Structure 1
């Protein structure tokens, strides 16, 4: 067998991100310090657009019913993707022990000394590893968070040189969690194929091979929580994204009716959102929705986003039958997914600005 480095020659790389200081370390050294580079103006924070009263209306989908082909649940899924672009999934079959083990292992990773975490820093040409993604200029406003980003499936694409060796059991925890989320994603893609008027396996076939990456976000507390963002507003370049939240701290907010709706955590529920790929394939019937993360003045928060994407060479564009069913023109041109995702990574998070590259 060759060395790990030799084995990694064929693993896709994505886009570089400028190195910036660890926010967690900064807060540990001086909890009162909030550098100018993180502070946003009132217009950027858009606090006047908070819509807390709509929080309870974020749709809930029962995966056990979807997997049985329940017609009523399929209609609910279709409406959730059309009207919200986000929904919570319950009865997904992922054991609470698997969810807890993933949370425990990543909390322990972020508790390691900085020099230990820096052993798996993001390399100059990629965003896999520990650090910060989407930092593209020296003067952009920074997010109040640190991240660990790994490609987990297919297994041959794992860049093992930047996989944490500490804490013990980390690899096993991420394996178990990622395997279960892959199962949930396959169920959802099957159901989405059906509501889009296709055979159950159509969306999966279109991907050529389903790639799966995970981003664990660490949001330290911030004494000026009303002036910083944990993650800037953006839509995901994925097909779908599945998110696990901390049970006791709300941080995710989604754009809805021109305002921001907090997505309150439901213990053991997963949050799913439509990505850009689904918006393009559905000719805009399903929307990839802007979302952001806010911070908390007193509590640390972690979130676990798993992205499901096509192979680089897959050409994505509006499906013919979706254009016909809407009686409209194509909203997007065909683009190669690999080019689309890398172009977006060369830009800072800025709402849906990156989607312009696929517009007709």
Structure 2
């Protein structure tokens, strides 16, 4: 098995740029994931985000999670077969773009709100840098992916899912998060560096995404698979719950197309495919509406559903 790809972003500024760009391209084509270090977000900021996120969970969310488990009629003791309709996670969501909802989230301390706003701005900038690196590797004009994502509303959809995965008494029967591909564009994950759990499916085997202090994990969503006409793939991933310890923290930020963005394979990438579009054309919001119903099912039927709608429309 290959080693999980780790990209040192500082090497993009020197003699090793070409090799680093090749590593990114290889990761996108063969893994759908890679981990970046020296990405420009200060270690001090990341440490503060981790500290305050864990404090917020202990203070405001841990007891709610315990009550939820208790309300499910002795869930911890009663489970004897694998559960396929429950995730062992405690979450809340922050929306940054097109309109922020961070002021409306209850129980967030002022300092934590301000910190997450600052963190989100850094992540947005990093996401757009990553998209331009992908454009360069794909032979697309700089800014192409960002322009597609902005749509006519001139803004992407950008938000953060803050998750904690408490210790689980039966991790072999209850997943922290069930296997799925991400619907959107590029996902930036700041994960716990002490507690593992994230896995991706590669060559029909589940592979651990190694915790690494102060790194950001990048993974590609369904929209980039469509735009690249399948050259880059979104990949199944899951979170395995842990039976002991303090639990795992995960902060996933989703840089997605705007709701009205029109998504389809980039024309420049069709030349090497005999001008054949292997993926449909659709509006991102329509895709998300379908994804909401089928998140934990294979992605291929989602694409096929839109292909069929195109066939019917052109018949």
Range class of TM-score, shorter chain:
0.7 to 0.9
Relative distance call for 1:319 and 1:164 in structure 2 (3 A) is same
Q: Which residue of 2 aligns with 1:127?
A: none
TM-score of the aligned structures, taking structure 2 as reference length = 0.83
The CA deviation string for residues 291-324 of structure 1, in whole angstroms up to 9 with x for no partner, is 0000111021111111001111111011122121
- Number of corresponding residues: 284
Task: Describe the shift of the 1:108–1:80 C-alpha distance in structure 2 as closer, same or farther (beyond 3 A).
Answer: same
Pairing 1:64-143 to 2, within 5 Å after superposition = 64-66=10-12, 70-113=17-60, 141-143=85-87
Cα-Cα RMSD: 2.3
Deviates more, 1:101-110 or 1:214-223: 101-110
1:324-355 superposed Cα distances (whole Å, 9 cap, x missing partner)? 12336211110000111122113342242544
Identify which of 161, 167, 189 aligns with 2:109: 167
Cα 1:101–1:332 shift into 2, 3 Å: same
Structure 1 residues 116 and 320, CA, compared in 2 at 3 Å: closer, same or farther?
same
Deviates more, 1:86-95 or 1:101-110: 101-110
Return the alpha-carbon distance in structure 1 between the equivalents of residues 249 and 273 of structure 2.
Answer: 40
What is the CA–CA distance in structure 2 between the aligned matches of 1:340 and 1:249, rounded to whole Å?
33
Measured against aligned partners, the alpha-carbon deviations of 1:143-173 in whole angstroms (never above 9, x if no partner) come to 111211111134xx11246324433411111
SS in 1 for 2:123: helix
User: Which residue does 1:357 correspond to in 2?
Assistant: 305
Q: Which residue of 2 aligns with 1:247?
A: 193
In structure 1, the partner of 2:207 is 261
Residues 96, 114 of structure 1: alpha-carbon distance in 2 compared, 3 angstrom cutoff: closer
For the structure 1 residues 160 and 98, does the alpha-carbon distance in structure 2 shift closer, same or farther, using more than 3 Å as the test?
Answer: closer
What is the deviation of 1:98?
Answer: 1.0
Q: Does 1:237 align with 2:192?
A: no
* Separation of aligned partners in 1, 2:292 and 2:127: 23
Residue 149 of structure 1 corresponds to: 93
Among 114, 139, 152, the alignment partner of 1:197 is: 139
The Cα of 1:259 is off from its aligned counterpart by: 1.0
Deviates more, 1:281-290 or 1:157-166: 157-166
The 2-side partners of 1:185 and 1:219 are apart by: 25
In the alignment, the residues of structure 2 paired with residue 180 and residue 321 of structure 1 have an alpha-carbon distance, to the nearest angstrom, of 30
Alpha-carbon distance in 2 for matches of 1:77, 1:281: 17
User: Taking structure 1 as reference, are residues 253 and 175 closer, same or farther at Cα in structure 2, changes over 3 Å only?
Assistant: same
C-alpha separation between the residues in 1 aligned to 2:107 and 2:195? 28
Secondary structure of 1:226's aligned partner: coil
Alpha-carbon distance in structure 2 between the residues aligned to 1:273 and 1:158: 23
Q: Which residue of structure 2 aligns with residue 181 of structure 1?
A: 123
2: CA distance between counterparts of 1:81 and 1:329?
21
**Alignment-derived partner of residue 75 in structure 2:** none
Change (3 A) 1:309 1:62: same
Q: 1:88 Cα shift?
A: 0.6
* 2:276 aligned to which of 301, 305, 329: 329
The answer to whether 1:294 aligns with 2:220 is no
Inter-partner Cα distance in structure 2 for 1:351 and 1:304: 24
Could you tell me whether the CA contact under 8 Å between 2:160 and 2:254 is conserved in 1?
yes
Decide whether aligned partners of structure 1 residues 315 and 232 sit closer, same or farther in structure 2, where only a CA change above 3 A counts: same
In structure 2, the CA distance between the partners of 1:340 and 1:66, relative to structure 1 (3 Å rule), is farther
| 3-state SS of paired residue (2:22) | helix
User: What is the CA–CA distance in structure 1 between the aligned matches of 2:164 and 2:298, rounded to whole Å?
Assistant: 21
Task: Give the conservation status (yes or no) of the 8 Å contact 2:185–2:223.
Answer: yes
Of residues 161, 166, 170, the one that matches 1:224 is 170
